[in-house]
Chain A
Amino acid sequence: MTDTPDTKAPVRLSDAAIRRRMLAEFWFYFSQNRGAVLGLAVFVLLVLVAVFASILAPHSPTMQYRDALLVPPIWQEGGRAGFILGTDAVGRDILSRLIFGAQYSLFIGIVVVSIALVGGIVIGLVAGFFGGWIDNLIMRIMDIILAFPSLLLALVLVAVLGPGLTNAMIAIAIVYQPHFARLTRAAVMSEMRREYVTAARVAGAGNLRLMLKTILPNCLAPLIVQATLSFSSAVLDSAALGFLGMGAQPPAPEWGTMLAEAREFILRAWWVVTFPGLAILVSVLAINLMGDGLRDALDPKLKRS
């Protein structure tokens, strides 16, 4: 859009310039999708809220105001100026807890996706690169993990490891990792047949270099899309685990855990239930919108040149 490629002379571009052009091209396709841009905006906002939580939050997320139990939101009768979204059953400010909860959700998403992505890439690379019985063995193990409903397996893993945020993240990462392994393997297998790989091999590149520097960068597009989708699923599943009492433990202001604590008040105080869930929905929706846009922008088949 902003920089039209110079078609007159074959200029030799520096790596940085090529990267800039690729980014510009990516942004062109990404910004075609209004939903994706909106999702990105909400996501950036979420990151800012998480980073500046201690400045933005009017109260401490764990401070209990004993004189302000179950205060309704400010616009409803009985609401108080200090508590914009009201307070919960032990008098904690809901808005402040939601703001700090953003830290949990982003942190969970980043950790889960990183573990699953790195694990899946290594496993998938090894399986796709070496093939044969190694590939067979690895893929059978991945099939076995995929045979379990993911939330159920994560639940049982957490039950075995012990409830808590760290174990919940590990469990979710283990459950997600086969998706990355499968994608990587498929991409590696199709890339392996290309001539540039043979050329690199002939030029004397070792296995490790072939895998990591030659093949992997060309397999990244589907992995990035899958990573975005897994990020939103991780936020959802960790909230579900928190809701079932197996994730972050009280008094952590994790959104799912907040919902679990709020459950008994659903018919008396709608706000303690509504806002944490809304926060989960908005975050997950934003990330999914972004994921849709990324898929459209990165999938060459969908590009209209």
Chain B
Amino acid sequence: MVRFILSKLLFLIPTFLGITIIAFGLVRILPGDPVLLMAGERGVTPERHAELTAQLGYDKSLPMQYLDFLGRLLQGDFGNSLVTKKPVLDEFLALFPATLELGLCAIIIATLIGVPVGVLAAIKRGSWFDQISMTTALVGFSMPIFWWGLLLIIFFSGMLGWTPVSGRISLMYYFPNATGFMLIDSLLSGQEGAFGSAVSHLILPSIVLATIPLAVIARQTRSAMLEVMGEDYVRTARAKGMPQRRVIGVHALRNAMIPVVTTIGLQIGVLMAGAILTETIFSWPGIGKWMIDSISRRDYPVVQSGLLLIAALVMMVNLLVDLTYGLINPRIRVK
């Protein structure tokens, strides 16, 4: 198992290097002088310009600049934001819990609904439940979630007035940021109504973000179940006279879950893309909105390092999925 993990890790190094090259290259091929961009509208004197250029290393050759960039990365220096002047890594870590909280809620919703629906649809193949749920899943899969979010706001916030339109918690409440997770922090604060406020802020964004993963998980679960239920060992279990619940729960479901777990894990990339849209619509102060704001503010160090950090994160999660896959499916490990 250790060898399996090591070989997977080793495999990641070239990909990671490639990601750094892309993140570095994208920002370097931008038109315009980075020093002038940093100086803003005030401009700089030619002497100061030369000094800054040397100080930032822009006078070196591109490969040397890349090595500098890589060296700083390895020391945990991801550069500073042009706008806030704060280290990009600090900003990322400060905003990340908001996105993680939203993403976790979304994936929990998607799994808790998607897996049972998929299993039921497979068991009752061809029934009205199967048809309706799979049609709904295809609609969900085709959903422009930015529009879906707006519709939910119109209905639940505008017409019914049940949920707030934006943010993570009502401004009435203030408490220290202990874990970064609003649900936990609001409970810890002990203030009456704080937790409810956090939940009501979280619910619509979670539904919006869960939509596509939910559809994918339901479809994948159904097809995995159908495949497994046609296998010999399921027929054998049935032939032995085993009760239906045990056949489905133990023999079929366990094996069908192997591809489903992978699917759930691979939704992380979908979630990050969805987070950009969801956070923009609901003004959710997370990584996605931060990236969009930085792109429109032309805050290139943030764009560069943000892209890098997100890609690295997705890569790590995919690795974890791979390893889990090895754990639940011993056949993989042997290879």
Contact A292-B138, Cβ < 8 Å, known A149-B273, A240-B277, A245-B296: yes
- Chain B residue with the shortest CB-CB distance to A245: B296
Whether the pair B142, A284 counts as a contact (CB closer than 8 A) is yes
A-B contacts counted at CB < 8 A amount to 123
Main secondary structure of the interface of A (DSSP, over half): helix
Whether the pair A159, B303 counts as a contact (CB closer than 8 A) is yes
Interface residues on B, range: 35 or more
Whether the pair B142, A274 counts as a contact (CB closer than 8 A) is no
Whether the pair A244, B292 counts as a contact (CB closer than 8 A) is yes
Return chain B residues, CB-CB under 8 Å to A284: 142-144
> Which of B144, B150, B277, B315 interacts with A281 by CB under 8 Å?
B144
Whether the pair B146, A156 counts as a contact (CB closer than 8 A) is no
Residues of A265-295 whose CB lies within 8 A of B: 266-267, 270, 273-274, 276-277, 280-281, 284-285, 288-289, 292
Return chain B residues, CB-CB under 8 Å to A236: 142, 144
> Which of A35, A140, A149 interacts with B15 by CB under 8 Å?
A140
Whether the pair A281, B273 counts as a contact (CB closer than 8 A) is no
Cβ contacts A16-38/B at 8 Å (1 or 0 each): 00000000000000000001000
Cβ contacts B125-144/A at 8 Å (1 or 0 each): 00000000001001101111
- Chain B residue with the shortest CB-CB distance to A269: B154
Interface centre among B135, B295, B314 (most CB of A within 10 A): B295
Q: How far is the CA of A274 from the CA of B147 in the complex (A)?
A: 8
Whether the pair B151, A273 counts as a contact (CB closer than 8 A) is yes
Return chain B residues, CB-CB under 8 Å to A259: 144, 146-147, 150
Whether the pair B139, A281 counts as a contact (CB closer than 8 A) is yes
Cβ contacts A201-245/B at 8 Å (1 or 0 each): 000000000000000000000000000000010001001100111
Q: Does A155 contact B (CB under 8 A)?
A: yes
Q: Does A81 contact B (CB under 8 A)?
A: no
Least Cβ–Cβ distance between A250 and chain B, in angstroms: 15
> Which of A35, A141, A266, A289 interacts with B154 by CB under 8 Å?
A266
Interface residues on A, range: 35 or more
Contact A273-B154, Cβ < 8 Å, known A280-B144, A285-B139: yes
Contact A147-B15, Cβ < 8 Å, known A160-B30, A263-B150: yes
Whether the pair B147, A160 counts as a contact (CB closer than 8 A) is no
Q: Does A114 contact B (CB under 8 A)?
A: no
Residues of B45-75 whose CB lies within 8 A of A: none
Q: How far is the CA of A163 from the CA of B154 in the complex (A)?
A: 29
Q: Does B310 contact A (CB under 8 A)?
A: yes
Whether the pair A144, B15 counts as a contact (CB closer than 8 A) is yes
Whether the pair B296, A147 counts as a contact (CB closer than 8 A) is no
Whether the pair A273, B138 counts as a contact (CB closer than 8 A) is no
Q: Does A69 contact B (CB under 8 A)?
A: no
Least Cβ–Cβ distance between A41 and chain B, in angstroms: 16
Q: Does B29 contact A (CB under 8 A)?
A: yes
Q: Does A130 contact B (CB under 8 A)?
A: no
Whether the pair B158, A281 counts as a contact (CB closer than 8 A) is no
Contact A152-B147, Cβ < 8 Å, known A143-B15, A266-B153: no
Whether the pair A160, B151 counts as a contact (CB closer than 8 A) is no
Whether the pair A149, B138 counts as a contact (CB closer than 8 A) is no
Q: Does B26 contact A (CB under 8 A)?
A: yes
Q: How far is the CA of A159 from the CA of B296 in the complex (A)?
A: 8
Return chain A residues, CB-CB under 8 Å to B295: 155-156, 159, 246
Return chain A residues, CB-CB under 8 Å to B30: 160
Whether the pair A281, B276 counts as a contact (CB closer than 8 A) is no
Return chain B residues, CB-CB under 8 Å to A145: 22
Q: Does B221 contact A (CB under 8 A)?
A: no
Return chain B residues, CB-CB under 8 Å to A289: 138
Whether the pair B158, A149 counts as a contact (CB closer than 8 A) is no
Whether the pair A157, B19 counts as a contact (CB closer than 8 A) is no
Q: Does A150 contact B (CB under 8 A)?
A: yes
> Which of A150, A256, A266 interacts with B158 by CB under 8 Å?
A266
Contact A285-B292, Cβ < 8 Å, known A149-B269, A273-B151: no
Least Cβ–Cβ distance between A265 and chain B, in angstroms: 10
Q: Does B249 contact A (CB under 8 A)?
A: no
Least Cβ–Cβ distance between B195 and chain A, in angstroms: 27
Return chain A residues, CB-CB under 8 Å to B311: 147-149
Whether the pair A288, B142 counts as a contact (CB closer than 8 A) is yes
- Chain A residue with the shortest CB-CB distance to B143: A281
Q: Does B14 contact A (CB under 8 A)?
A: yes
Q: How far is the CA of A195 from the CA of B311 in the complex (A)?
A: 42
Q: Can you offer 20 A-B residue contacts whose CB atoms are under 8 A?
A: A35-B138, A140-B14, A141-B18, A147-B314, A147-B318, A148-B19, A152-B273, A239-B144, A239-B146, A243-B146, A243-B277, A244-B277, A244-B280, A256-B146, A259-B150, A267-B153, A280-B144, A281-B143, A285-B142, A288-B142
16 more CB-based (< 8 A) A-B contacts, given A148-B19, A236-B142, A285-B142: A144-B19, A148-B22, A149-B310, A149-B311, A150-B269, A159-B303, A240-B144, A244-B277, A259-B147, A259-B150, A266-B150, A273-B147, A273-B154, A281-B142, A284-B144, A285-B138
